[in-house]
Amino acid sequence: DSGVTQTPKHLITATGQRVTLRCSPRSGDLSVYWYQQSLDQGLQFLIQYYNGEERAKGNILERFSAQQFPDLHSELNLSSLELGDSALYFCASSANTGTAYSYEQYFGPGTRLTVT
Amino acid sequence: GQQVMQIPQYQHVQEGEDFTTYCNSSTTLSNIQWYKQRPGGHPVFLIQLVKSGEVKKQKRLTFQFGEAKKNSSLHITATQTTDVGTYFCAGPKHNQGGKLIFGQGTELSVKP
């Protein structure tokens, strides 16, 4: 158990819909990362938050957005869903302070999103 | 842009055989991390290498960081069925704090 929790575990929805994925980081970790994992794309970094502020952005679509709340949990919002958005979405957390040094990341169990 | 490449993509071995996966970065890395993802699971941190030429061992796993800090390898001696999974290397994105760039991973299958 990594200490990172994600809900829901599975999500099945239709094209055009909007969903919210939730993540609670390990106790004490200020950084939260979101990744998308699909069969043909590997682990793709989406976005990082540190203590409530966006810190780094990856190949995140404009239809996707995220935020980190004062209690440090994070939500990833996916809207206007397309079939190609079907994937595993992982949240990870680390003690990273936002400096150049990178700490190890602890991954949650993931949310499997299926868009039909 | 900055890339991290891993080879091979797949490796099938007989139990007891050795296994090696290689990781190459397009840029010099301040450190490199290795993760393992079991089938149906999530990536789990294995180790971080920081120094040029560093070698670290975890039981049957040996991790190396190249002298130029642009490549790394993971070697497993005498594989076991419990070693099955995908092994990822990851390096920090230059000047972007904790953001990691993951390699595509090497999927290891072990035949008993």
- When pLDDT is averaged across residues B69-86 and rounded to a whole number, the result is 97
Q: What is the dihedral of CA B72, A87, A95, B33, to 10 degrees?
A: -10
**Which distant-in-sequence residues (6+ apart) come within 8 Å of A3 by Cβ?**
A25, A26, A27, A93, A106
CA distance B45 to chain A (A): 7
Q: What is the DSSP letter of A47?
A: E
Q: Which residue has the higher pLDDT, A102 or A9?
A: A9
Query: Look-up: residue for tokens 């994070």?
Result: A74
Which of A47-51, A86-90, A98-102, B81-85 comes out lowest in average pLDDT? A98-102
Question: Would you state the structure tokens that stand for residue A111, as one six-digit string?
Answer: 């949310």
Q: What is the DSSP letter of A54?
A: E
Q: Which residue has the higher pLDDT, B22 or A103?
A: B22
CA distance A84 to chain B (A): 19
- When pLDDT is averaged across residues A8-35 and rounded to a whole number, the result is 96
User: What is the reported pLDDT for B51?
Assistant: 95
| Of A43, A50, A100, Cβ closest to residue B88 | A43
**Which distant-in-sequence residues (6+ apart) come within 8 Å of A39 by Cβ?**
none
User: What is the reported pLDDT for A42?
Assistant: 82
| Of A98, A100, A108, Cβ closest to residue B42 | A108
**Which distant-in-sequence residues (6+ apart) come within 8 Å of B61 by Cβ?**
B46, B47, B74, B75, B76, B77
Which of A3-17, A83-97, B12-26, B78-92 comes out lowest in average pLDDT? A83-97
- Res. A102: pLDDT tops 90: no
CA distance A78 to chain B (A): 21
Q: β-pairing, B106-111 with B10-14?
A: parallel
Q: β-pairing, B61-65 with A64-68?
A: unpaired
User: What is the reported pLDDT for A34?
Assistant: 97
User: What is the reported pLDDT for B13?
Assistant: 97
Which of A16-20, A103-107, B8-12, B56-60 comes out lowest in average pLDDT? A103-107
Q: Do B105 and A42 touch (CB under 8 A)?
A: yes
CB of B3 within 8 Å of any CB in chain A? Answer: no
Residue in chain B lying closest to A2 (CA): B44
CB A82 within 8 A of CB A15: yes
Share of chain A above pLDDT 70, in %: 93
- Angstrom CA distances, B82 to B76, B79, B110, stand at 12, 8, 8
User: What is the reported pLDDT for A99?
Assistant: 62
CA atoms within 13 A of residue B95's CA, in its CB half-sphere? 2
pLDDT, tens digit, 9 for 90 and up, residues B38-75: 999 999 999 999 999 999 999 999 999 999 999 999 99
User: What is the reported pLDDT for B99?
Assistant: 82
- Res. A80: pLDDT tops 70: yes
Compute the C-alpha angle B11/B64/B96, nearest 5°: 95
